[in-house]
Amino acid sequence: MMSHELLDVRDLKKYYPVTAGFLSRHIGDIKAVDGVSFHVREHEILGLVGESGCGKSTLGRTILRLEEPTSGEVLHRGTDIAKLGKRELRELRKEMQIILQDPDASLDPRMTVGDSICEPLTIHNIGDEKERTERVAELMEQVGLEAAQATHHPHEFSGGQKQRVGIARALAINPKLIIADEPVSALDVSIQAQILNLMMDIQQEFGLAYLFIAHDLSVIKHMAHRVAVMYLGKIAELASKPELFQNPLHPYTEALLSAVPSVKPKGKERILLHGDVPSPLNPPPGCHFHPRCHRVLPSCSRKEPELAEISQGHFVACHLCDAGDL
């Protein structure tokens, strides 16, 4: 069922230039996304996890070209999104949509929620007025809202209800891939499970693929088929969910898992990470994680590790692989 690649990201980079002085001299770059490669298969949920500031959200936005990539390729069914013109990109947006962390960011407070859900249909000239009204009512019921609420404005809804509206809006034009950018992190815990279960039901019903971005490993464990761990603009580890949670190989992944009691591998002690995530403007030399790593080697500060396949489908970027210590 998951044999065909829907999205193929190759060495994707997103740098933000930093300037200083009266002449705005270029003094460096914030390397928000720094050479990321992975793929998402049809009908698959790929979880993307990491600490705040690691570049997860920027990666999602760059894939959709809401941010222009600095370099690299984003292939959707073999077509490089980065090379598309405005008209072609608009057509492709029918296939790829985004659900934002803050539902208020995607909802115009002046518009009714029905109009917000209908907006993608209008932009892409799908159906007549009657068909669009019927589609909006259908979508609202699919996400657990009443069709009669279509005439209400966003301020009349709770946070969970507004996220349901955001999901309905993303589904309006039948996309094949949805990038879900921390879709439940702004919601109360009691509401999070409802939204996650709704998204899983929708994924199965419509055969969608998700790139599901989160910082909460419990959420990733609930949702994902495979998991990519990101640190300071790079993928540190990528594996199937069972493999990653039962056999984490990168020290950063070990530390993340050890901090979450509900998903901590058996027999593993809590690993404390010292210090903060370094600045992407001035990352450490070699492996970006080495100043905080509890298993650091002398080579870690000198040479940047490459993402390598250690076993089938399990990729790790760590010098411990070379030393045979994983």
Q: Phi and psi at residue 134, in whole multiples of 5°?
A: -65, -40
Query: Using an 8 Å Cβ cutoff, are 130 and 118 in contact?
Result: no
Sorted by where each begins, the domain ranges of the chain are 5-95+175-323
Give whole-number Cα distances, 185 to 100, 166, 214, 217, 295, in Å.
10, 14, 8, 12, 31
Fold of 5-95+175-323: Rossmann fold (3.40.50)
Q: Which stretches of 226-294 are DSSP H helices?
A: 241-246, 251-258
Q: 125-139, 166-180, 254-268: which has the minimum mean pLDDT?
A: 254-268
Closest by Cα among 200, 233, 211, 240 to 304: 233
Predicted TM-score (pTM) of the model is 0.91
Q: How far apart are CA 94 and CA 229, in angstroms?
A: 28
What are 190-239's pLDDT values in tens digits?
Answer: 899 999 999 999 999 999 999 999 998 999 999 999 999 999 999 999 99
- Residue 3's pLDDT band (boundaries 50, 70, 90)? low
Q: How far apart are CA 94 and CA 166, in angstroms?
A: 16
Give whole-number Cα distances, 247 to 103, 127, 297, in Å.
35, 50, 21
Query: Using an 8 Å Cβ cutoff, are 223 and 199 in contact?
Result: yes
Q: Which residues pair with 226 in a beta bridge?
A: 46, 240
